[in-house]
Chains A and B, each alone.
Chain A
Amino acid sequence: VSTTIAVVLMLAVVAYAVFGGADYGAGFWDLIAGGPDRGSRPRRVIERAIGPVWEANHVWLIFIFVVLWTAFPEAYASITLTLYVPLAIAALGIVLRGTSFAFRKVVVSTRYRRMFGAGFASSSVLVPYCMGAIAGGIASGEVPAGGEAGDPVDSWINPTSVVSGVLAVAVVAYLAAVYLVWDARRQGDAEMVEYFRRRALVAAVVVAGVSTVGLLILRADASHVFDGLESRGLALVVVTVGCGAGALVLLVRGAPRGARLLAMLAVASLIASWGAAQWPYLLPESLTVSDAAAPTGTLQAVLAAVVLAILFVLPGFVLLFVLHQRDLLPEEGVEDAGDQAPEQLPS
C-alpha cells in the first residue's frame, strides 16, 4: 500500500508541476513583459489564460501536503524542521502571489495594477525557486530521518538545491510559454502567438542547458539519485528527452497543440524520473518509503480519498479545463460598467 501512496504523491507533484507550475511560469513572463504599454498585450493573454484555473491548480499543493503529512508524517516533520526557511518564503510568496493576482484583476487604475502586478509576478518566480530548492535538498540527502532537523542553511543552499531551483523556474517558464502560444491562438492574437513561441523556444534551450548542468552536479553532489537516473529512471529520462525534442520541433513548425501535449509529457516524465531515481527512498539514503509509511488504516483512508477524488473531483477538473479551453469561461461575471476605468464611462 505504501508504494501505491508514494506513486499517488508523485502523481500529485507531477500534476502540480504541469498545471500549477504553468501558472507560476505565466507569472515569470508577466514579470519580464515590460512596462505598462509594451506589456499590456502579453499580460492580457496571461490573465485570461490562468484566471479561471489557477486556484484549482493551487489545490494540488494542498493535496501534496496532506498526503505527505498523513501518509508519511515522520518525513513531513523532518522536511519542515530542516527546510523551514525556503518553506516559509514559499508560504509568504504564495500569499503575495494569489492575492496580488486577484486584486490586479479588479482594480482599474494603472498605478495599482502595476503594484499588484509586481507582487504577483515577482512571487511567481520566488515560489518555484524555493520549491525546486526544497526538492534539491531532499534529493541530495540533506534531510535526516526520524523527525530530526538537518542543517537549516546547507540543506537548501547547496549545488543541487540551487540548480534544481533554477531548473524549476526555467521549467515552469517553458511550460507556460508553450501553453500561452496555444492560449494566444485561441484568443486569435497572431502577434502574441509569435511572441510566446519565440520565448518558448528560448526557454526550451535554457531548460536543456540547466538540465545538463544539473546532471553533472547531481553526479558529484547526489550520487544516489544520479545512479538512479542511470538505472531505474533511465526510461523516463529517455521519454523526457524525446518529448522535449519533439515539442521543440512542433514549436518550430507552428503546431502549438501538439507541442503543448509533448511539453507536458516531457515535464511530467522529468519529475517522475526524479521520483524513480530516489526509489526506494522518500528521503534519500535515510528513510525509505515503506519505513516512513503511516499505519495501514491511514493509508487506506488516503487511498479511499484518492479514489473518491478520481470519481468525483477529476470529472469537475476536466470540466473546468474543457469549458476554459472552449472559451465558455470568458471573464468574471459579465462586463459591468463599474469594471471600466472611470474615463471610459459614458457620461
Chain B
Amino acid sequence: VSATLNELVAIADVDPVPWARAQMAFTLACHIILVPLGVSWALMTLIANYRAIRHDDRDALVLAQRWSKYMAVTFAVGAVTGTVLSFEFGLLWPKFMGRWGEAFGVPFAFEGLFFFTEAIFLAIYIFGWRRLKPWTHFWTGVPIVLAGIFGSASVVAANAWMNSPSGFTLDSNGNVVDVDPVGVIFNDAMPLQAAHMILAAYVVGGFLVASVYATGMLRGRQDRYHRLGFVIAFSVAAVATPIQMGVGDALARWVFNNQPAKFAAIEMVPETSQDVPETLLGHLNEDGTVSGGIKIPGLASWLSDPSTGTSTTVQGLNEFPADERPTTRQVNVVHLAWDVMIGLGTLLFLLSVWYAVSWIFRRRMPTSKWFLRAAACSGVLAIITMEAGWVVAEVGRQPWIVYHHMKVEDAATANTGIWIMFVAVVVLYLALGVTTILVLRAMSRRFRRSGAFTDHDTPYGPSAPAADSAAPDEKAEEGAAR
C-alpha cells in the first residue's frame, strides 16, 4: 500500500508552473467570454429601453425586459468567475503578487469601485422595472454602461502594466520601494490596450446577441421583435468593428516599437531584416527557418511603419537571447492566433460593410439567407477572434510576467498540488458553461412559447395584448436541458 501511495505522491508531485499557467489561461479564457456581455449588453438594452419609452414601442420594451433578465444570469456567472481570478492571483502567482502587488494592485483598487457601481445599478435596473418611473428607471441603467467601460479599462490597465511596467522605483535588491499610482495606471500600453478590449466587448457582445436573432430569423421568425433585436445588436457591433480595426492597427505598431520580441513572434520573423513579407499561416522550425505559408512581399515592413515603407527594419527573433523571447512553439501559437484574429476580424468587418451598404442604399437590413447565415455565425466567430487576440497578447509576452523584470517561472507558486485545483476548476467550469447555455435557451423557449407579458402586469408602456400562448408543453424545459 505504501508503495502505491508513494507512487501516487510522485505523480502528484508535478512542476507547478505549467499547471498554474494552464489554469490561469483556462479561467481567463472563460471569463473573457462573459465580459463583453457585461460591458455591452447594458448599452443594447438601454437602446431598446429608450425606444420603448420614446416611441411607445412595445416590441422594444419586451426586448429590453427580457435582455435584462438574461443579463442577470450572465452577470452573475461573470461576477463569480471574476472572483475566482482574484483568488488565483494569490493561489497561482503568490511570488508575483508578493513582489509586485503594490504596483500591479493599484488599478484593481479603482476597478473595485466600478465593479461595485455596476453590481449596484444592475440590481436596481433589473429589479426596478415595475415600481420605478420609466425615465428614472432608464437612468439607473446608465451607470452600468459607464462602469463597464471604466471597469474594463482598469483591469486592462493592470494587464498593460505587465507589458509596459512603469510608475515604480526599485532598490538595489530589486524590491519596489516607491510607487507612483498615476504612472502605474496610465502606463504606456494602457490607452491602446484598454480601447482595444472595450471595443472588443462591443464587437463580441453585439455579434453574439445578433447571431441569436439571426438564427431565429433563419428559422422563420421574421417578426418585428426579432428584427429589432437583431438590428440593435448588430448595429452596435457594426459601428464598433471598423473602429476596432484602426485601434488594433495602432496597437500592433505600439508592439512593434515597444515589444519587438512579441512583434517578431506575431510576424514570424526569425532574423532582423528589411522588406519583411507578411506570412499568412506557415510554420517556424526549430532551426529558425520558416516553412509553408503564403508570403506577401514587404507587407509586414510596410505595415510596421508606412512612412518608411518596405525599407522598415523589423527586428527578428535572433536579436533576443533564447530565454528572453517566446519559444519556437510559442511563436507558432502566437503567429497562428494572429492570423486567426486578423482573418476573422476582416470577415466580420466585411459583414458589417454589407449591413451598412444595405442600410445606405435600401434603408433596411439585408434579409438574404446568406447574410443571415453569416450573421448567425458571427457571434461564435467574434468570440474566437477575441480569444485569438488575447492569445497573441499573452503568449507573445512570454517568458515575462512583468516585462523585462520578472519571468513567469519565477512568479508561480511552489505548491505541487495545484493540478488538483486545475482539474476541479475545469470540471466545474465546463458544467457551468453547459448549464448557462441550457438555462438561457430554456428561458428563451419559455419566452417564445408564452408570446408576451401577462396582461395584468405590464410595466410602463402600452397595455398588453392577450398573451397568445401556444399549447402548454410541460416537458419542453426538461427537453431543452437534455
Question: Do A and B form a real pair?
Answer: yes
In the complex the two chains form, what is the Cα distance from A112 to B446 in whole Å?
Answer: 15
- Let me know if A336 and B65 touch, CB within 8 A: yes
- Let me know if B124 and A320 touch, CB within 8 A: yes
User: Which chain B positions have C-beta within 8 A of A112?
Assistant: 477-478, 481
In the complex the two chains form, what is the Cα distance from A202 to B108 in whole Å?
Answer: 41
- List which A40-82 residues lie within 8 A (CB) of chain B: 51-53, 55-56, 58-59, 61-63, 65-67, 69-71, 73-74, 76-81
A-B CB pair tally, cutoff 8 Å: 313
- Let me know if A313 and B120 touch, CB within 8 A: yes
CB distance from A318 to the nearest CB of B (A): 10
Which of A164-172, A181-189, A338-346 lies on the face that meets chain B? A338-346
User: Which chain B positions have C-beta within 8 A of A107?
Assistant: 439, 442, 477
Given A52-B127, A55-B123, A301-B106, decide whether A102 and B116 contact each other with a Cβ distance below 8 A: no
In the complex the two chains form, what is the Cα distance from A340 to B459 in whole Å?
Answer: 17
- Let me know if A328 and B128 touch, CB within 8 A: yes
- Let me know if A94 and B120 touch, CB within 8 A: no
Question: Can you name the residue of chain A whose Cβ is closest to the Cβ of B65?
Answer: A333
Q: Does A190 contact B (CB under 8 A)?
A: no
CB distance from A45 to the nearest CB of B (A): 16
User: Which chain B positions have C-beta within 8 A of A149?
Assistant: 414-415
Given A58-B79, A316-B121, decide whether A346 and B467 contact each other with a Cβ distance below 8 A: yes
- Let me know if A69 and B116 touch, CB within 8 A: no
- Let me know if B110 and A323 touch, CB within 8 A: no
Which of B88-96, B189-197, B232-240, B341-349 lies on the face that meets chain A? B88-96
Question: Can you name the residue of chain A whose Cβ is closest to the Cβ of B87?
Answer: A91
In the complex the two chains form, what is the Cα distance from A53 to B127 in whole Å?
Answer: 10
- Let me know if A323 and B94 touch, CB within 8 A: no
In the complex the two chains form, what is the Cα distance from A252 to B176 in whole Å?
Answer: 56
Q: Does B322 contact A (CB under 8 A)?
A: no
Q: Does B378 contact A (CB under 8 A)?
A: no
User: Which chain A positions have C-beta within 8 A of B474?
Assistant: 342-343
- Let me know if A305 and B94 touch, CB within 8 A: no
- Let me know if A345 and B469 touch, CB within 8 A: yes
Partner of A53, one of B65, B123, B413: B123
CB distance from B358 to the nearest CB of A (A): 32
Given A53-B123, A112-B477, decide whether A305 and B457 contact each other with a Cβ distance below 8 A: no
Q: Does A95 contact B (CB under 8 A)?
A: yes
User: Which chain A positions have C-beta within 8 A of B101?
Assistant: 69-70, 73, 76-77, 294
Q: Does A319 contact B (CB under 8 A)?
A: yes
- Let me know if B116 and A147 touch, CB within 8 A: no
Question: Can you name the residue of chain B whose Cβ is closest to the Cβ of A323?
Answer: B124
- Let me know if B129 and A70 touch, CB within 8 A: no
In the complex the two chains form, what is the Cα distance from A192 to B6 in whole Å?
Answer: 55
- List which B40-98 residues lie within 8 A (CB) of chain A: 65-66, 68-69, 72-73, 75-77, 79-84, 86-91, 94-95, 97-98
User: Which chain B positions have C-beta within 8 A of A346?
Assistant: 467, 469
Given A103-B439, A147-B94, decide whether A332 and B106 contact each other with a Cβ distance below 8 A: no
In the complex the two chains form, what is the Cα distance from A295 to B452 in whole Å?
Answer: 58
Partner of B457, one of A297, A335, A338: A335
In the complex the two chains form, what is the Cα distance from A72 to B180 in whole Å?
Answer: 16
CB distance from B14 to the nearest CB of A (A): 15
- Let me know if A295 and B176 touch, CB within 8 A: yes
- Let me know if A342 and B132 touch, CB within 8 A: no
In the complex the two chains form, what is the Cα distance from A5 to B467 in whole Å?
Answer: 56
- Let me know if B446 and A339 touch, CB within 8 A: yes
Q: Does B113 contact A (CB under 8 A)?
A: yes
- Let me know if B83 and A94 touch, CB within 8 A: yes
Interface range for B: 35 or more
Q: Does A98 contact B (CB under 8 A)?
A: yes
Given A73-B105, A335-B457, A336-B66, decide whether A88 and B127 contact each other with a Cβ distance below 8 A: no
User: Which chain B positions have C-beta within 8 A of A328?
Assistant: 128, 131-132
User: Which chain A positions have C-beta within 8 A of B103?
Assistant: 298
CB distance from B103 to the nearest CB of A (A): 7
Partner of B83, one of A61, A298, A335: A61
Partner of B126, one of A80, A312, A333: A333
Given A106-B443, A336-B447, decide whether A92 and B425 contact each other with a Cβ distance below 8 A: yes
- Let me know if B116 and A295 touch, CB within 8 A: no
Contact with A along B420-456 (1 / 0, CB 8 A): 0100110011001001100100110011111111100
CB distance from A61 to the nearest CB of B (A): 7
Q: Does A330 contact B (CB under 8 A)?
A: yes
- Let me know if B177 and A295 touch, CB within 8 A: yes
Given A328-B128, A329-B127, A340-B450, decide whether A301 and B119 contact each other with a Cβ distance below 8 A: no
In the complex the two chains form, what is the Cα distance from A90 to B94 in whole Å?
Answer: 17
In the complex the two chains form, what is the Cα distance from A302 to B471 in whole Å?
Answer: 58
User: Which chain A positions have C-beta within 8 A of B457?
Assistant: 334-335
**Other than the known A319-B124, A332-B68, A333-B68, what 12 A-B pairs have Cβ atoms closer than 8 Å?**
A65-B90, A76-B90, A95-B429, A102-B72, A102-B77, A103-B73, A147-B94, A295-B177, A298-B105, A309-B113, A332-B126, A342-B446
Q: What are 30 inter-chain pairs, A to B, with CB distance below 8 A?
A: A52-B127, A55-B76, A58-B80, A59-B119, A62-B112, A69-B108, A71-B105, A76-B94, A76-B98, A88-B87, A91-B88, A92-B425, A92-B428, A95-B84, A103-B73, A106-B69, A147-B95, A147-B98, A295-B179, A301-B109, A302-B109, A305-B110, A323-B128, A328-B128, A332-B127, A333-B129, A340-B454, A345-B449, A345-B450, A347-B472
